[in-house]
Amino acid sequence: MRWPIRNQILFPLAGVVVVGVALTTLTTASVAARQSEQATIGRLRQVVETLGDATIPFTPRVLEQMRGLSGAEFIALGPDGDVRAATLPYDLLADWRRLSPKAAGDLASLTDSPPLLLAGERYFAAELEVRPPAVVRRLVILSPERNWQTARRDAVLPPLIVGGVTIGLMLIASIWLSGQMSRRIQSVETQVERIAQGEFVSVAVKPPDDELHALASSVNHMSASLQQLQESMRRTERMRLLAQLGSGLAHQLRNSVTGARMAVQLHRRRCSSEDGDESLAVALDQLTMTEEQIRSLLTVGRGSGSIPVTGPLSEIIHDVCRLITSASQHAGRRFHPPEEVDTTVCVADFEGTRAALLNLLTNGLEAAGNGGDVALEVALDHGMAFCRVSDSGPGPDAEIADRLLEPFVTTKPEGVGLGLAMARTAAESQGGELTWERCDDRTVFTMTVPATWPSRSSQEKGPRGASEDPVRTVGTR
């Protein structure tokens, strides 16, 4: 049987509160009733003792005054038990003689004797001896029961009302607090159920800042972590699948490309054109670009198993500019290559850097659109090489802008989303980085990699070169 935590908190707390307040209220009411009773008896005793010490005869007039002061009825009895004076009507005296109550001896036991019924009125009776004895020997005090009940009710009712209101307020507060806590726990429970079903959502964490607040924050953090883990697993599975498919296709594709390039080269040697036709050279460049793209795809899919080879940056720029110039002319775009590159500068991963720049420039040509332009700039600063590729296109969609460099992120219907991921991997493997931004209505990708000068001596490497020419930019803007 399900026992909600709300009830587990509410019932014990409410029970303890009700019992505690009830006991306190009853104790207070009992004490108040006893104090009221003692106050009434004290008033009666004070009246009797005051008048008795004054040696005033208990005449009917004096007894009437005593009744007015105390609210009780009085009967003065002589030595023989005959009635000498009374505040009761004389028709009730016969009933009094017939009942003949037993003397209490002291006012403290006034309510201990059974009540007397006279003319439909119930009285508590006490009989006192008068000292010094005179005409009146004994004095009977009849206190109406209704007066006692009224006094007790007036004394008991306020504590009971306060206790009842306190219990009600405590119950309302307990129900509200337990309900609030239960709703917060149910919110976390619902979120955990949705996470278990694969919906990695976060909920608003509401105050106060307590243990449930920390629990909800932890569940949100767990949801975000699981979402990232799931996305990482999906990317890994897709890359593993791509590697499996690519390993089977790569051999066929590269053999086909190699065969086609050999055929074009053979035809070019046999049938050389004397009118300056560059169509065969363009075809060879396109085949070379295709081969580079296949190699970069396999690098992302299964990881490069070869050791990176250091090579000159100028040769990389020359190769990619030659390939992109042919592609830009064919696509109707303008390409602005760098004017010159320091031939002594080298990068740690020659093949990876070339494939990355080639991919960035190819993407730029596609994004620039008809009549657009793409520019490549190279800069050196404090031992780092900055290769900036900018295009005049509209830039990536806002929905993927934050994830643009992650694998399989693309808005192209025929795209795979691995080109920028490959470029970032190539930069980070050398201790660099790949970033992008929108600047002056252009999309700018900056690939930063460490630069080395193998041909220089150790005294002339990076730091001196950087100090002599802290920012050296070669290219167009």
Q: Residue 169: how many CA atoms within 13 Å on its side-chain side?
A: 7
Q: pTM here?
A: 0.50
Q: Distance of alpha carbon 4 from its chain centroid, rounded?
A: 22
Cα→Cα distances 301→5, 241, 244, 289, 431, Å: 51, 8, 8, 18, 21
Return the pLDDT at 468.
Answer: 38
Q: Indicate if the pLDDT at residue 65 is higher than 70.
A: yes
Q: Which residue has the higher pLDDT, 472 or 78?
A: 78
Are 198 and 192 contacting, i.e. CB atoms less than 8 angstroms apart?
Answer: no
Domain range summary for the chain, segments of one domain joined by +: 5-156, 308-475
Fold classified for 5-156: Beta-Lactamase (3.30.450)
Cα→Cα distances 109→76, 102, 103, 351, Å: 19, 12, 10, 115
Q: Work out the burial of residue 325: count CB atoms within 10 Å of its CB; fewer than 13 is exposed, 13-18 middle, 19 or more buried.
A: middle
DSSP assigned state of 101: P
Give the pLDDT confidence of 435-461 residue by residue, as tens digits.
999 999 999 999 999 999 886 544 344
Q: Indicate if the pLDDT at residue 302 is higher than 70.
A: no
Return the pLDDT at 373.
Answer: 95
Q: Give domain 308-475's CATH number out of 3.40.605.10, 3.30.565.10, 3.40.50.620, 3.90.1150.110.
A: 3.30.565.10
DSSP assigned state of 469: S
Give the pLDDT confidence of 100-155 residue by residue, as tens digits.
554 444 555 556 666 777 777 888 777 777 766 667 777 888 878 887 778 778 87
Fold agreement (5-156, 308-475): no
